[in-house]
A and B are shown apart, each in its own frame.
Chain A
């Protein structure tokens, strides 16, 4: 059973370009989370999605950032008109989402995408 897949692993963009980060959850997982890690910092929650639905986007900047998790295919985190401050590692995690209130529903993380904005 393959783990959470993210690609690309490294992405370089110039200011003003668009960045697209992809995440394929573990097989059988229907919940996806995106986190951002700035240098020397812990991970910060951005958005939580289920298939075709955004459940919680409270951690995502209101402008330039969007996320989707279509019925078919990977989850996409899209950053438009990137700026230097967007340089960070972006992690995706997935969970089964089937266990109910007291399920640990452990989140399994992908290897991350390191975005560098020149």
Chain B
């Protein structure tokens, strides 16, 4: 079974600065997807970014980018030019490509606060 670990429960960043959120995972599979979801106080789950494991290039979406280290099973999220609206819980998630199972396995999340 796959597991996703987010070992930092909380982080804080100054507005306009850069912050990196860590995530590690454990799997014996070679093909899979990784995701970062954001959950603001409204509790709506919002997709931030996704990474296909077969791609070597790190995914980027505007101010959000990932550092995907497949051998180390590490998938960190970097937020540049942090904004107040980035304050939320961030969840790392894994999706297997084996068989018909497309469920997401989530980490426990990290609470990010942004200081004005």
Give A contacts to B, CB under 8 Å: 31, 33, 35, 40-45, 48, 55-56, 59, 89, 91, 93, 95, 101-102, 104-109, 111-112, 114
Give B contacts to A, CB under 8 Å: 4, 6, 33, 35, 37, 42-47, 50, 52, 54, 91, 97, 100-109
A42, A56, A112: the one contacting B103 at CB < 8 Å is A56
Q: Could you tell me if B45 and A42 are in contact, using CB atoms closer than 8 angstroms?
A: no
Q: Could you tell me if B103 and A104 are in contact, using CB atoms closer than 8 angstroms?
A: no
Q: How far is the CA of A66 from the CA of B104 in the complex (A)?
A: 20
Q: Could you tell me if A43 and B106 are in contact, using CB atoms closer than 8 angstroms?
A: yes
Q: Could you tell me if A42 and B101 are in contact, using CB atoms closer than 8 angstroms?
A: no
Known contacts A42-B91, A42-B107; A105/B44 CB under 8 A? no
Q: How far is the CA of A94 from the CA of B105 in the complex (A)?
A: 15
Q: How far is the CA of A54 from the CA of B4 in the complex (A)?
A: 25
Q: Which residues of B contact A44 (CB under 8 A)?
A: 106
Q: Which residues of B contact A114 (CB under 8 A)?
A: 43
